[in-house]
Amino acid sequence: MDRPTIIDIARLAGVSKKTVSRVINNSPLLSKPTREKVERIIAETGFVPNPTARALALKRNFLIALVHDNALDPALVEVQAGMLAALKHSEFALCVHFLDCGPNAALRAFGDFLEYHRPSGILLMPPLSEQDELAGLTWEFGCRCARLGAKPQTESPGWIVTPDRQASADAVHRLVLAGHRRIAFISGREDTRCARLRELGYLDAMAEHGLDRGPALIAAGDDSFESGYAAAELLLEVSPRPSAILASNDEMAAGAVHAAHKSGIKLPAELSVIGFDDAPIASRIWPPLTTIRVPLMEMAHAAVNQLIAPEASESTTHDFPVELIERGTTAPLHASAGESGAFAFQSG
């Protein structure tokens, strides 16, 4: 026999379709006995409302969509893992959508996607999360929206963020405490606030310590391994050579480590490197990368919980802490190597 429909339940319970529907949707105006009777029948039959039919009536699908603009972004695995964990045992499915057109066409393509597939909720990855027009569109379609990234200037709802600027500055402080003075920075995609804030944090801290933060110490990357490699090659041939590099993400930090190896520079003895994110690659390269952990999985989990919550919570932004994880690519500056070897070893 086929699955029971709402009509079967209604007949079995001796009530109308609509009453069963009310039970399903937790309508407040129902007598206790009626509700309990229907709920018993539902439990006995194992009835599950057909999501497609509900979707047609409600004009929205039981889908939570992850929307990104980089299909090969290594962060996607972790984000999805967090989302899937939160979606477990829920009535929603995870849908992944790739928006690869330019920023202008993106709005239209995103609208088409929303209108066509009508997801119940959207999780926007950076840099898409920073386009307010995209978030605005989701509202128009009665679709909730969560955004991953760095904290925006103006408080707005749905943001899941980390204190990138402060974290970046803290990493520099640690390097300075370990005696480093010439600290270079590899920046990330300019179109992400996250990357810009990480650079600002670096600049903050360098200024605070009165250290040189000239253009020779800052190289532009685009969040990719290759760009980190190229940037490090540039940084490592200036003289005096930086004794430490902070990269805006782990991929680029890994690229920097790669470049150092290629140049025969010993890590961490001759060069310290700090990455950002604690992506899987961080613990897999040699030496294992010291990095600032961003709890992407937990963040995605929280984002989805917010998206599928029965009532839209008016939480503005959800802050997650970051944490510096010391591994093998950082060491105190050797007195012999530094231009001002005053500082001795200091456990940060």
Partner DNA sequence: TTGTACGCGTTATCAT
Partner DNA sequence: ATGATAACGCGTACAA
Applying CB under 8 A, the residues found at the interface with a copy of itself are 3, 48, 51-53, 55-56, 61, 63, 71-74, 76-78, 80-81, 84-85, 88, 91, 93-98, 100, 115-118, 225, 251, 254-255, 257-258, 261-262, 280-281, 283-288
Residue 31's binding partner out of DNA, a copy of itself, none, with CB under 5 to 8 Å set by partner kind: DNA
Size of the site for DNA (CB under 7 A): 32
User: Given the rule CB under 7 A, which of 21-29, 78-86, 258-266, 267-275 is the region that contacts DNA?
Assistant: 21-29
* Rounded distance between C-alpha atoms, residue 334 and residue 348, angstroms: 16
Closest CB to DNA among 28 and 264? 28
Token pair for residue 242?
């930086």
User: Per CB under 7 A, does 34 bind DNA?
Assistant: yes
- Interstrand relation of 144-150 and 121-124 (parallel, antiparallel or unpaired): parallel
Judged by CB under 7 A, which of 43, 57, 71, 342 binds DNA? Answer: 57
How far apart are the two ends of the chain, measured CA to CA in Å?
Answer: 67
Residue 324's binding partner out of a copy of itself, DNA, none, with CB under 5 to 8 Å set by partner kind: none
Residue 207's binding partner out of a copy of itself, DNA, none, with CB under 5 to 8 Å set by partner kind: none
Token pair for residue 166?
């402060």
CB 42 within 8 A of CB 9: yes
Residue 176's binding partner out of DNA, a copy of itself, none, with CB under 5 to 8 Å set by partner kind: none
* Rounded distance between C-alpha atoms, residue 275 and residue 293, angstroms: 9
Residue 304's binding partner out of a copy of itself, DNA, none, with CB under 5 to 8 Å set by partner kind: none
Closest CB to DNA among 6 and 252? 6
Task: Describe the crossing of helices 132-140 and 103-117 by its angle, rounded to 10 degrees.
Answer: 20
Judged by CB under 7 A, which of 11, 45, 58, 173 binds DNA? Answer: 58
User: Per CB under 7 A, does 269 bind DNA?
Assistant: no
Smallest separation, CB 208 to a copy of itself (Å): 33
CB 228 within 8 A of CB 199: no
Q: How large is the C-alpha radius of gyration of the chain?
A: 26
User: Per CB under 7 A, does 283 bind DNA?
Assistant: no
* Rounded distance between C-alpha atoms, residue 238 and residue 74, angstroms: 31
User: Per CB under 7 A, does 347 bind DNA?
Assistant: no
Smallest separation, CB 216 to a copy of itself (Å): 25
CB 271 within 8 A of CB 65: no
* Rounded distance between C-alpha atoms, residue 274 and residue 247, angstroms: 6
Smallest separation, CB 89 to DNA (Å): 18
Smallest separation, CB 47 to a copy of itself (Å): 12
Please tell me what DSSP assigns to residue 43: H
* Nearest alpha-carbon partner for 273 in 150, 208, 178: 178
* Rounded distance between C-alpha atoms, residue 289 and residue 215, angstroms: 25
Longest CA span, the chain = 88
Judged by CB under 7 A, which of 31, 154, 239, 336 binds DNA? Answer: 31
Burial 160-170 (b: 16+ CB within 10 A, else e): bbbbbbebbbb
> Where in 182-201 is the site for DNA (CB under 7 A)?
none
Closest CB to a copy of itself among 114 and 169? 114
Binding site for DNA (CB under 7 A): 2-3, 5-7, 14-22, 24-25, 29-31, 33-35, 47-50, 53-54, 56-59
